Chains A and B, each alone.
Chain A
Amino acid sequence: MPDMATEQKSFKFKVVLLGEGCVGKSSLVLRFVENKFSSRHLSTIQASFQSKTINIDDCKAELHIWDTAGQEKYHALGPIYYRGSNGVLLVFDITDRRSFEKVKNWVLEIKTCLGKSAEILIVGNKTDLEDERKIARQDAEAYAETEGAIYMETSAQDNIGISEAFEALTAKMLDRARTAPTEATSANRSIRLIDDEERDGRSKRCCR
């Protein structure tokens, strides 16, 4: 999917936002795409699916950002969302330890589901509430490093670090797409299709 036209160096990436409810996933998207923030976010646009093109070096990357429902009861649906995604943005609230623990769960899940085909970016949101901080920056960074993920801190309210976070993720996805354009991205599909053709032949022989 991403390497639609490698000659023009334009890529399409599917980025999924995961995280507990009320950590600011939708606000992040809104801020990134529309540069808007509202505490109740009564926006005119729908925040759940957005696409934005960003340029990094000489490459054009079209990000399809998928927001997900964060409520606990929808947790089990996660794999349906992040299936086939190139990047995952795991958001937690730096004032809420539970949301950080949740991120750790997500990381494990994603690693088992997607293997290493997706880049993971862990985002500590709500740095504007520094006074109520429960997760030390060093802790989160250390954790991200052990998991091979990037860690960044943002504030959707004050618009701090959001475009940087998305750019960092895109850069990593670009690197991956460049180094292994076929293997990492369209591997699943094409291999399966070849498989199919073999089976197709077999079944033909079986029947007639």
Chain B
Amino acid sequence: MSDKHGDEDESKKAKMHLKANDLLCVNGCGFYGTPQWENRCSKCWRAHQNEVKKSQDFAKNKSLLSFDQFQERRKSTTESKSRGIKNLFKTSPIPEGGTSSPTSTSPAGTPTRRRDLSPDSLEARKQFTDFLVINLTTAMAQEIARSVKNAVGKISEMKMNSEDMSELVMSYYQYLGERIGVHSLFNSPDCKVKVEDVMDQVEKYISTYRIRSLHWVTAGYLETKLVFKKQAVRDKIDEAISELIEINAKKSAFEKLECLTRSCKAIFEALKESESATSADEFLPTLIYILFRGNPPLIQSNVKFISRFAIPSRLMSGEAAYFFTNLSCALEFARNMNHESLQMEKTEFEAYTSGHLAPPLSVINSACNQAMYVLEGTIETIVTVAKKAESLAKNITNMNGKTDDDLDKMLVVIKETVDFYPTQEYLNMKESIFTEEQETADLLVSLSRQSSESGRGTLSSTADNTQPSTPQPQTDSCINESPLVTAIKEEVSDSS
């Protein structure tokens, strides 16, 4: 920086003194330069401008993750931590306008990232060396460490695109695998190597935007059968989403795949909770939905990273491979998704995607909102409760009517039964009534005789009055049922 300022001072002086030497092109090509062209000659200025434009275009195209930064970041991992921090302080105060400095195009986000990654790579290196020291003989550990270090160094030095990089890493795996195979070792060193190369993931940053623009596509459109009203289902979906996001935080392809597997397992459980089939017919749409819901950061890059840098056999067999393939499919689907795959009008689809039109808030559609689910669920519960209360009330009325009917019927039955099968008590009572009646009758007879002697006429009336009144207190004390009482009364009247 100080050099640059010095240059400027000199150029100012040069203008004032107009020394012939200072008029020469700063590139030292021997031609004269002009101050408008920053003391360059026409040829050098054009070349310089081209370069600037190129780097600006580059920065524009890959705004966040331009190749330069990517390269730098990778380099920084091989540098020591202290140096990384020094770089931080060095790069931050550079003024934006300084066209001569190549780092000026970098956005503010880079330094923090570098700071994040540098300790990570140190940690990874430490782990790797520890691993080598513990598990291997010194000679071999040294050999492998040297080999890995060379490879990583070469990889970071070389300017190449991701395709070449992937191929290089693949071939390196094979080479290292062969070397280690001679020494009869398992493939975990390969896993560790990946940690050093992890930074390569960042360069591809594609479909996250695409996914964001398709956020309106919800479960309804994808014909998933998730029952969002269930709390358990929602929990599982959140779990799946968080695992999917977690993929980006993991450093090695193996760990990333583990995250993916956990995420997919959670999806299956959500499907199970929704009581729908757990076949691929259901799984893929759900995965796509979760992809839209969660919009995991740099998922495209992560998928590419895994497919490039994981050990090939891991991607060709096993559960993780299946889930990985499904994730690739889901991304592929998201990329190619159009109005046809959702069965809607093209204009409609475009309007939704570009954000000109909000998708209609249908029941299925608005179901993407958590609060809505809860509300919906509550409303449903309330409705069912109300319905139940209503039916309960109805049942109670029915029950009352029925008991009344039953009581009447029962009384009739009791009466019939009692008529057919009189109890001993009843018989006794009857008998006692009968004997009493007999007695009264006798009494009456004797009375009537007496009265006949005195004078006829009162016999019939007194007999009628006394007969029903005499048994009444007895029956009341014995049997409380009113119908029985009437029955007894009838009986009494019959017998009389």
Mark A residues whose CB is within 8 Å of B.
1, 12, 14, 21, 25-26, 40-49, 64, 66-71, 73-74, 76-77, 80-81, 84, 189, 192-193, 195-197, 199-200, 203-204, 207-208
Any A CB within 8 A of the CB of B242: no
Q: Which 7 A-B pairs give the minimum distances between C-beta atoms?
A: A26-B279, A67-B280, A196-B171, A69-B284, A196-B167, A48-B280, A49-B322
Q: Is B385 an interface residue (CB 8 A)?
A: no
Which residues of B are at the interface with A, using a C-beta cutoff of 8 A? 154, 157-160, 164, 167-168, 170-171, 174-175, 223, 268, 271-272, 275-281, 283-285, 312-313, 316-319, 321-323, 325-326, 328-329, 332-333, 336, 340-342
Q: Given A49-B322, A189-B312, A208-B157, are A74 and B277 also a contact pair (CB < 8 Å)?
A: no
**When the two chains form their complex, are residues A197 and B175 in contact, meaning their CB atoms are under 8 A apart?**
yes
CB-CB under 8 A from A25, the residues of chain B are 279-281
CB distance from A64 to the nearest CB of B (A): 6
Chain A: interface secondary structure?
A: mixed
Distance between B293 CB and nearest chain A CB, rounded to angstroms: 18
Residue of B nearest to A202 (CB): B164
Contact B174 A193 (CB under 8 A): yes
Residues of A within 8 A of B340 (CB): 73
Residues of A near B325 (CB, < 8 A) are 66, 80-81
Closest to B281 in A: A69
Cα separation A70 to B223 with both chains bound (whole Å) = 13
Contacting pair B275 A12 (CB below 8 A): no
Instruction: List residues of chain B with CB within 8 A of the CB of A189.
Output: 312
> Contact partner of A26 among B277, B316, B319, CB < 8 A?
B277
Q: How far is the CA of A21 from the CA of B333 in the complex (A)?
A: 17
Residues from chain A with Cβ under 8 Å of B333 in the complex: 73-74, 76-77
Residues of chain A contacted by B341 (CB below 8 angstroms): 73
Complex contact B277–A41 (CB within 8 A): yes
Contact check, B316 vs A47: say whether CB atoms are below 8 A apart: no
Q: Which residue of A14, A67, A69, A80 contacts B317 across the interface (Cβ within 8 Å)? A: A14
Please indicate the chain A residues that have their CB under 8 angstroms from the CB of B318 in the complex.
64
Residues of B within 8 A of A69 (CB): 280-281, 283-285
Q: Check if B322 sits within 8 Å of A66, measured CB to CB.
A: yes
Expressed in whole angstroms, the Cα–Cα distance for A21 and B280 within the complex equals 10
Contact, CB under 8 Å: B159 / A207: yes
**Docked CA distance A200–B160 (Å):** 11
Q: Other than the known A1-B316, A48-B278, A77-B284, what 9 A-B pairs have Cβ atoms closer than 8 Å?
A: A48-B279, A49-B319, A64-B318, A66-B322, A66-B325, A73-B341, A77-B329, A84-B316, A207-B159
Least Cβ–Cβ distance between B72 and chain A, in angstroms: 17
* 8 pairs, CB–CB < 8 Å, chain A vs chain B: A25-B279, A46-B268, A64-B317, A67-B280, A77-B332, A193-B170, A200-B167, A200-B168
CA distance A204 to B157 in the complex (A): 10
In Å, the complex CA distance between A84 and B171 comes to 19
Chain B residue at minimum C-beta to C-beta distance from A49: B322
Contacts of A41 in B (CB 8 A): 277, 279
Interface core residue of A14, A48, A74 (most chain B CB under 10 Å): A48
Q: In the complex, which residue of chain A has the Cβ closest to the Cβ of B271?
A: A46
Beta-carbon nearest neighbor of B341 in chain A: A73
